[in-house]
Amino acid sequence: MAIRERLSGNEAVAVAFKQMDLDVMAAYPITPSTEVPQYFSQFVADGVVQTEFVAVESEHSAMSACISAAAAGARAATATSACGLALMWELLYVASGSRVPVTLALINRALSAPININNDHSDSMGARDSGWIQIYSENNQEAYDNQIMSVRIAEHKDIMLPVMVCQDGFITSHAIENIELLEDDAVAKFVGTYTPQSSLLGGKPISVGPLDTPQFYFEHAYQRAHAMIESKKVILDVFKEFADLTGRAYGLFEEYKMEDAECAIVVLNSTAGTAKYVCDELRAQGKKVGVLKLRVFRPFPIDEIKKALSHLKAVAVMDKSDCFSAVGGPVFADVRNACYDLETRPQIINFIYGLGGRDVRVEDLKHVYSALDEIVRTGHLGKIYRHVGVRGV
């Protein structure tokens, strides 16, 4: 029987970690992810988990401890945000390069400077090329579900890549929503026990983390890239199994009213909710609009995206971070790339929005849709790299 609850996004993630009875959690507090280790350490204090909670002195040490813990045979996880992820940066690559299935709850927050504790995606987008699988969550339910599924993906013997599950800081991390939880034993059964093929504490000694000369580094890099390619199938298999268990079916992305749409916006995390609302309003006015909500950003589902956008006339890709390439945001770059091979492709523009917790209002998304409308109407693409919600632009 599913359990109906009301939880914040942070608590939902902590509950997911509790239900899978992590072996090791190593974490350092940073707003807005702090509640995750707080809730979890209460579970430890109350003896409801058998996890070893390591209250490290930094995020760098959190990821370092998680990497060795996973190499030693633990199901290990951490949670962080923004500068905390930035401090882990070096180890993010070590985690994927060492092929350890660490999982991370990333509560998205803007990177400094200036310091800002609110939501955007500059943290996870900056880490998009670090060899981590990235799954984004629109709401608390998705954050909970994704976190549970993430260990099955990470620990799959053909994948062995770390996974970060992202959700929007404050917007979902601190908002209490209705949520449907699985029973503890259902989660335990779904995730099973992590049994690596070899581990530091597995009896036979192993060495982890070598120096690779040019004779070997490239092959190992290729294997990591290959695992990322292969992970798509595993992700879909795990999603399917989870759907069979819960009735909640997830894909690489969600298509909302896309079938007959002429214009659509591509968006991820909580803004998808607002986008669907705006989409409904415009649909009521007879506009053929849709929303494509990306869930899995790494691996990037290029073929599926290409297909999903092929029939559109105009697309706006929403980026809640800027990668300062001077030509657009990171989601835009990948989505537009996906459309390159189409014989007839939609006109594609990019909007940078919501940086540093700037509210994303219904009017902002209406503005985006009207920009698409104008492109379709006039046939003129205009400026590609745009901003919405920023003063003076």
**Contact residues for other proteins, defined by CB under 8 A:** 23-24, 26, 50-52, 54-58, 60-62, 64-69, 71-74, 76, 90-91, 94, 98, 193, 200-201, 203, 205-213, 216, 220
The CA distance from 238 to 233, in Å, is 9
* Residue appearing with tokens 């800027």: 322
Taking CB atoms within 8 Å and a gap of at least 24, the contacts of 62-65 are 62/26, 62/27, 62/28, 62/88, 63/26, 63/88, 63/91, 63/92, 63/94, 63/95, 63/102, 64/91, 65/24, 65/26
Q: Give least dist CB 161 to other proteins, A.
A: 16
Nearer to other proteins, 90 or 363 (CB): 90
What is the smallest separation between the CB atom of 198 and other proteins, expressed in angstroms? 10
Our CB check for other proteins shows the closer of 176 and 225 to be 225
- Cβ proximity to other proteins: between 54 and 187 the closer is 54
Minimum CB separation of residue 12 from other proteins in Å reads 23
Give least dist CB 99 to other proteins, A. Answer: 12
Q: What's the min distance (Å) between Cβ of 18 and other proteins?
A: 14
Contact (CB, 8 A) for 29 and 57: no
User: Could you give phi then psi for residue 36, rounded to 5 degrees?
Assistant: -60, -55
Q: How far is the CB of 216 from other proteins (least distance, A)?
A: 5
Q: Quick check: helix, strand or coil at residue 341?
A: coil
Identify which of residues 202 and 382 has a Cβ nearer to other proteins in the complex.
Answer: 202
Cβ(94)–Cβ(67) below 8 Å: yes
Give 55 or 302: the residue with its C-beta nearer to other proteins: 55
d(CA 231, CA 298): 9
For other proteins, the closer of residues 114 and 205 by Cβ is 205
Q: Quick one: tokens of 61? A: 């040490």
Least distance CB 212 / other proteins (angstroms)? 5
Neighbours of 367 (CB within 10 A): 17
Cβ–Cβ under 8 Å, residues 161 and 94: no
Side-chain-side CA neighbours of residue 373 (13 Å): 13
| Residue number, 218 or 277, with CB nearest to other proteins | 218
